[in-house]
Structure formats: C-alpha cells, structure tokens
Amino acid sequence: MSHDPNCIFCKIIEGKIPSRKVYEDDDIFAFHDINPWAPVHFLMIPKKHITSLAHVDATNAELLGRMMVLAPKLALQEGCRPYPEGGFRIVSNTGAEGGQEVHHMHWHVMGGPRPWLRG
C-alpha cells in the first residue's frame, strides 16, 4: 500500500496517530473528524495515498465508486436520519482555493440536526 511517511492521514491509517474509527476495509478507512462542524462529521479516505480529488484517474474509478456507495450507509450508521428529513453532506476540499489543508484525499461526511457549527 503506497503511503507518504509525512502524511497525517497515512499515519492515522497505520495507527501511528490515534483516531475514532468508523469503518475499515482493504482499501477504505473512515474516522471521526477531530474538529467536527456537525453532530455527525466523519472523514472517508482511501488507504492508498492519493493527494487530492484532482489527482484521480480512471484507475481509481472502482475505488471512488465503492466509497460513494459506502458513504450513505456509514452516514446512517453514524446517526444521520434517513432521506428526505435527514440526509447528509459530502465535501471534498481540493487544493488551496478549495480549502484543502490535509493533502491526502478525503471526503467530509456531515449530518445531524441543525444548526451546525459551520456550513
């Protein structure tokens, strides 16, 4: 599995930095955001170090598809109410103007009763 030794999310996947795990399989890891904006706020990441959503190509299509199919299931598991009253928001900040701070591709999955701290 390719990883970047200086990447905090690679360290979280390896267990070198502790996190509150939501889900794990061979390719995907999900964990609670340390600084949540919403009652439910977790991050989904590929175990393989992909820098951002701007770096994906056709070889990543199956992985991205699996992540997208998984996201609604994890949102419900973590306490989001069902659609349409409930629901969730997925955000993938990409690059400086996209507001990306951690350069390992991640999807914020947020939900729960409003108001939220941000967003």
Handedness of CA 49, 51, 52, 58 (dihedral sign): negative
Question: Are 62 and 70 a contacting pair, CB within 8 Å?
Answer: no
Give the distance from CA 35 to its chain's centroid.
13
101 binds, among Zn ion, ligand 5GP, none (CB under 5 to 8 A by kind): ligand 5GP
104 is catalytic: no
* CB count in 10 Å sphere of residue 70: 17
> 79 or 82: whose CB is closer to ligand 5GP?
79
Identify the bridge partners of residue 21 per DSSP, sorted by sequence position.
31
Does position 5 interact with ligand 5GP (CB under 6 A)? The reply is no
| 107 binds ligand 5GP per the rule CB under 6 A | no
Strand 107-111 vs strand 89-91: parallel, antiparallel, or unpaired?
antiparallel
Told to check if 6 binds ligand 5GP by CB under 6 A, we report no
The binding track of 27-56 with respect to Zn ion, each residue x by CB under 5 A or -, is ----------------------x-------
Binding site for Zn ion (CB under 5 A): 4, 7, 9-10, 49, 104
Positions marked catalytic: 106
